[in-house]
Structure 1
Amino acid sequence: MKRRSFIAGLAGAGLMLALAGCGFQLRGTGPGSTLTLGELALESADGPTSALTRQVTQELNSAGVTLNDQAPLRLNLGSEEFLERELTFGDAGTQERQLTLTVPWSLQRVDDGAYLASQESVVVSGTFYTSSDQLLTRDDAREALKDELHQEAARRLIDRLQTFQPDSAGTVHASSTASSS
């Protein structure tokens, strides 16, 4: 039994080294977890008190970004849009439903109004289960999933903003590894 534990531990250590060697890191850890933009102005179509705006504000603060209305760059958040569709059809007792959140966004220079990123969108989705005889539970499950989708959309937005780097003169531009989605 002792030999089996040793081999399992050795295999686990080897896997960790292999993952570290290929650049794997958990989201929110490592050098990529901070944005180099410094400060941003945040404009949200849904207002400063919306759940998405609060979540994006929290993620930006966690990434080291100061929110300031006088900042040289403005992050514009469009109106969030939820789409719900039923995945399970028929009279089955439990039904699976999918909720998709789409958030349009853009990054704009304040001084000349030029867009560094225009008409981009973050799209996240998840599923929840309901039963026709438990309507209150369905509403609770939907709201819990909405909260999760707001968090995931904010994280993905931060991931997208990491592609924008200031150069030595302080001008922000998209790095060559920027992905469009």
Structure 2
Amino acid sequence: MKRRSFLAGLTGIGLVLVLAGCGFQLRGTGPGSTLTLGELALESAGGPTSALTREVTQELNSAGVTLSDQAPLRLNLGDEAFQERELTYGDAGTQERQLTLTVPWSLQRVADGAYLTSQEEVVVSGTFYTSSDQLLTRDDARNALKEELNREAARRLIDRLQVYQPESTGNAPAAPTASSS
């Protein structure tokens, strides 16, 4: 019994070392968990009360960004679109459905209106299970997944914004291009 516990502990320590050695870190805990943009204006097609706008605002605040209408950069969020499709066909009791959220966004310099990023998209999707005889449960599952997709889209948007570093003039240069190696 002691040998089994020792081997399990040794395996756990080895796994932690391997993950740390390859650069693994939990989301939001590493050096990239804050944005260096400092100040940002937010314009959303869904308005300030939409679920996505609230999630993006919360993520930006958590990343250390101050939202201000006088900021040198503006984050533009387009109309988010949900698309639902059925993955399970037939008369099966339980059906699997996929929900996909697409959010168009752009990053714009306010001073001259130049786009640093023009018409990018964040696309996230997830699945939920329903039954044809439980319509209320289907709506609850769909709404819960929509909330989760809004959170995930906001996180991915913050991840994409991390490539922008402000210059001394308060403007952010265009993101570095990926070089093929």
Pick the TM interval, shorter chain: over 0.9
Aligned to 2:85: 85
Distance in 1 between the 2:74 and 2:175 partners?
18
Deviations 1:127-177 (A, max 9, x none): 001111111110000000000000000000000000111235543124436
Contact 2:116 2:175 in 1 (8 A): no
Query: Which residue identity is paired with 2:95?
Result: Q
**Gap regions ≥5 residues in structure 2:** none
Tell me the distance in 2 between the aligned counterparts of 1:50 and 1:9.
47
Secondary structure of the corresponding residue to residue 71 of structure 1: coil
Q: CA 1:169–1:140 in 2, change beyond 3 Å: closer, same or farther? A: same
After superposition, where does 1:102-141 map in structure 2 within 5 Å?
A: 102-141=102-141
**1:3 corresponds to 2:33:** no
Aligned residue number for residue 42 of structure 1? 42
After superposition, give the CA deviation of every residue in 1:44-97 in whole Å (9 maximum; x if it has no partner): 001000000000000000000000000000000000000000001111111110
1:21 alignment counterpart: 21
Residue-by-residue CA offset, 1:104-126 (whole Å, 9 max, x unaligned): 00000000000110010000000
Matched, 1:162 2:162: yes
2:150 is aligned to 150
**Displacement, 1:17?**
1.1
Say if 2:54 is the partner of 1:54.
yes
Partner letter of residue 22 of structure 1? C
Identity of aligned residues (%): 84
Q: Which amino acid aligns with 2:23?
A: G
Whether 1:171 aligns to 2:171 is yes
Task: After TM superposition, give the deviation of residue 178 of structure 1 in Å.
Answer: 5.9
Once residues 160 and 137 of structure 1 are traced to their aligned partners in structure 2, the CA distance between those partners, rounded to angstroms, is 34
Q: Which runs of 4+ in 1 moved over 4 A?
A: none
CA contact (8 A) 2:87 2:98 kept: yes
Corresponding letter in the other structure for 2:117: A
TM-score of the superposition, structure 1-length normalised? 0.95
